[in-house]
């Protein structure tokens, strides 16, 4: 349950970032990265490392928009905790939204790309940074 909960929280941070990105995409000259850089400056995201030094916790790295979350754990863990809870009669509207946002984000990215370059059919498009975590070549 701890692993499922931790992964569901990180997935929620990613979905939140993607939802903020959707708003930023409607404001000329503004992007999600700029907004999130400002959010990261908020001292409530900083923790004491035990030596009197303050640093960002790892969760802050999940406050970045992209094409959604993937990998081998986030999708299945969020679905597992969601489906179990629903089966027990516990409504999970937040996790339902996390899953919905994630499912819709890839299409949104394609819509943005299509607006920028026209139809994508027949075009060669490079996707950089597709791996689901740093220093891995796993693209699940």
Active site members: 73
- Report the alpha-carbon distance of residue 74 to residue 8 in Å, rounded: 7
- Classify burial at 1, counting beta carbons within 10 Å of its beta carbon; exposed 0-12, middle 13-18, buried 19 or more: exposed
Would you put residue 121 in left (φ > 0), alpha (ψ -120 to 50) or beta?
beta
């Amino acid at each position: 349950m701890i692993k499922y909960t931790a992964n569901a929280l990180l997935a929620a941070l990613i979905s939140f970032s993607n939802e903020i990105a959707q708003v930023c995409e409607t404001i000329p000259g503004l992007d999600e990265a700029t907004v999130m850089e400002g959010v990261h400056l908020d001292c409530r995201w900083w923790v004491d490392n035990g030596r009197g030094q303050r640093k960002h916790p790892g969760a802050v790295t999940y406050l970045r928009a992209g094409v959604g979350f993937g990998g081998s754990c986030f999708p299945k863990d969020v679905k597992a905790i969601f489906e179990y809870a629903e089966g027990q009669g516990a409504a999970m509207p937040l996790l339902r939204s996390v899953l919905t946002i994630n499912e819709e984000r890839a299409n949104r990215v394609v819509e943005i790309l299509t607006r920028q370059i026209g139809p994508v059919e027949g075009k060669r498009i490079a996707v950089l940074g597709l791996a689901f975590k740093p220093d891995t070549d796993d693209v699940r």
